[in-house]
Amino acid sequence: MSLNDFAIIESTLREGEQFVGADFSTDDKVEIAYALANFGVEYIELTSPCASPTSLTDCKLLSKLDIDSKVLTHIRCHMDDAKVALDTGVDGIDVVIGTSSYLRDFSHGKSINEIIDIAQSVLTYIREQNPFLELRFSTEDSFRSTEDDLINVYQAVDQLDVVNRFGIADTVGVATPHSVYNLVSTLRNLTDADIEFHGHNDTGCAVANSHSALTAGATHIDTTVLGIGERNGITSLEGLIARLYAIDPDYIRNKYNLHQLHKLNQIVADKVEIEIPFNHYITGLTAFTHKAGIHAKAILNNPETYEILNPNDFGLTRYISIAHKLTGWNALQDRASQLGIKINPDNLKAVTHHVKAMADHKRITLSDVDELLHQWADNNYNFDKTEGSSKKTSSTKRQTHN
């Protein structure tokens, strides 16, 4: 299976700024923007220049960076915001307005007709001021808006012929892959413009929903590094990359500089003062760790048996955990080879037995395993025999004390 062309709108410097632990300085933003560009994201989205005086100056500064990624900013559908954004030098403006009854009643207070009127005037104004700017119009809380309202708004904007891209936003994380597929398909049939999907992860569907959007004809997906954002965040860059790599590894390998991913994660994790979660896609501590003996045996024969992602493509290595009761002799043989130890099959099985027995009684470490392998090694055995005392015996004795 192959993927259609798509682009990542990387929003660590917009949605990610809304993560409770994020407080990026100007230097932080520049460093993150360069790291994102080195990875190869097509777009970098910045916080609205209307958010604060520094947001405005940072928007202007980052727009001038010598990077291949296009720089976007994200504004409310409001003429004042549009005027400020137009003056920043960004490559594109992402305009958003809420369409769900929650946002109409409790946020901006506008009816659907008023939303259409203001969208028409703001979007037309932006296009008149800059015919070359990439212009996106998105509804907010799209999945709790009625389909009739959404169609009315999108059709009215599409008829203006001024936007490059429409956005669909699962602002509260309520969507499922099925509902995303249906809504993106509906919009796909309404317009020839590009379609962007923004999905929150409150119920764990963000990556699957993003994939579903692409299969239904979306062209752009919003991500953040480590998925940071409001509440528990949005589609993580790493989750999307893992999902799409599993479908078409060659395409993803050629499209992005995958070796930069871990460094990018570490930069952002340090700045927002969190650890990379142990089970995070690709870069988590255990993402390429194998434990069970039966898994280890197969991994050693052919890693693809239990891996759909090749750690080498990301500049990472797999790790086979061997110091535990589920270990197997194949994994211990591999460890012995790493240590340059020769050990005959009978002794290897005896070591395996010892490791399991020891691990049944206490938490053991790789050093414990290495010590046993050294003690039972063919050369040690022979050496000890000539000395008249077998280390095997002393080792066995010591086991009984543990």
What does the binding site for Zn ion look like in residue numbers (CB under 5 A)? 15
Instruction: Choose the catalytic residue: 220, 295, 353, 374.
Output: 295
**Cβ within 8 Å of residue 143, ≥6 positions away:** 170, 171, 172, 174, 175, 179, 180, 183
**Cβ within 8 Å of residue 138, ≥6 positions away:** 94, 95, 96, 97, 166, 167, 168, 169, 196, 198
Q: Between residues 15 and 202, which has the closer beta carbon with respect to Zn ion?
A: 15
Quote the CA–CA distance of 57 and 375 in Å, as a whole number.
65
Q: Between residues 92 and 199, which has the closer beta carbon with respect to Zn ion?
A: 199
Taking alpha carbons only, the member of 189, 145, 187, 191 closest to residue 170 is: 145
Q: Between residues 235 and 333, which has the closer beta carbon with respect to Zn ion?
A: 235
State which residue has the least CB distance to Zn ion: 15
Helix (H) or strand (E) holding 137: strand 134-140
Q: Among this protein's residues, is 220 annotated catalytic?
A: no
Q: Cα-flanking dihedrals φ and ψ of residue 224, to 5°? A: -135, 155
Name the minimum Å distance from CB 198 to Zn ion: 6
Q: Between residues 11 and 265, which has the closer beta carbon with respect to Zn ion?
A: 11
Task: Express the helix, strand and coil content of the chain in percent, nearest 5 each.
Answer: 50, 15, 35
Q: Between residues 171 and 352, which has the closer beta carbon with respect to Zn ion?
A: 171
Torsion of CA 55, 56, 57, 60, to 10 degrees: 110
Name the minimum Å distance from CB 18 to Zn ion: 7
Name the minimum Å distance from CB 13 to Zn ion: 13
Q: Catalytic residue numbers?
A: 295
